[in-house]
Structure 1
Amino acid sequence: MAQDRIGLVRDSMNENPLLAKSQLGRPLKRGFSLPPDDFTYGRPNTGKDGGTAEAMGNWNSALPSMTSKPGEQKRERDFIGLNRAAIKAGLVTSGEHYHFRANHDIRRKMSPSENKIRTRRIPPDMTFGISTRPSTPVFDLLEHKYQDRWLQQRRLSELANREKQQKKILNGNIYETRASLLRKYSPVVEPPPLWHMPRFERVHPHLETFRSPEARKLAFRAHSHDATSRTGVFGHGIYAAAKS
């Protein structure tokens, strides 16, 4: 039975797999393209054998065995073991030890972590060379920022040396007395209380809207910080516009 379709039927509708309806028992057509005819499927053979000589003539074309694997580090000489072996052999002088080391060789055993083959893989997007040195900031030179930075570092170093000297003096014969402690003590200055009208000084509030005195202090502190950018005498108005 033919399928009903509303509208004009174009050739591009049959090629689009989203618009084409699947037929019963037939797979949908996909847009995958195969490689050319000279393409070889599979993975390349990286094994090294005798090659053509071994395949045709069965010659002795085996590769020479390598003493060390590629990438494997050469073990260092074990001088402690050489000295021990020389002493056991009865050698004492430096010349005898020199000849013993020339005729004998003992290599140091490598740990399992050092014995692993280390391969260095260079990323394909790596750029070789030295990075470009940034130019000297002219504005820092004109504003004497290097001088200010040096003066600040000197000031901090002098303060640190002075504190070290004071600690040395205190740890020595000089000790603190009551007079020296009172001389260094600076009493805490409490801020003046808020102004109240005389008739409301003895009137206490009957309603407390804050959960705790700490919450009340935090709220008033936030209000004092935010009141500078608001209009009005007490800073309860809208935010004031920026003034140039």
Structure 2
Amino acid sequence: MASGRAGPRRQPMSLAEAGPGTENERLGLVRLSMLQNPLIIKPELGKPMRNCYALPGPDFTYGMYMHKRDGGVPEAIGHWDTVKAKAHPRKRVMPRDFVAMGRAAVDEGCTKAREFALYYGYMDIRCKDKGILRYGGKVPPGMTFGKPPRPPTPFFDLMQHRYKELWMEEQRARTRVQHMMKKKIGEVRENRTSFLRTHPLPVKEESFWHLRRFEKAKPHLRTFPDPESRQKALSASH
């Protein structure tokens, strides 16, 4: 007995083929979509599976249709199929580079808007065309194609664990900065009372009370031999 998948796939089943006694017999309303659904249709015994997609008619052309134009030698002589030459690529007009022009204007000493406008009209600097190779331009001098080589591996630093020491120094510096920041945050702001405890005000010297009419009067008697003795006596009385 042949397998259900043996042989090429056949055309979709029609309503006439799904008659009584077949594997795909349907009761009630029968729709054409039932015979085109691969989840509903059942394989037929001893026959290859059917294709559930309707194919176009015999007059259908697969692929691109080419009109025939075979007129022999006269057709070949009178209609040459030549490849048209590509037009010369016109030069691409790049936008103005105002950044470079502004930098050059500042170097020349321009400071006012009118001076900048005059300089822009005199000096015309265009942006560089990065896609110059795509538009048929010449390769600029000094241009290198490809990826630049990677720098050499510093085996001497690796053997001496230089990168470890640099990392440890960075960690120590970061720890010191974090400690200082935490110390600044933890400080308590002083008020006037605590500030006066640590920075007392200077003691104001007391002066004896005098009548206003005697404020400008000078002493007529000097009972102390010198000013130091007078200050010593006054300090002892307080």
TM-score range, shorter chain: under 0.3
TM-score by length of 1: 0.23
TM-score by length of 2: 0.23
Larger RCO (alpha carbons 8 Å, 6+ apart)? 2
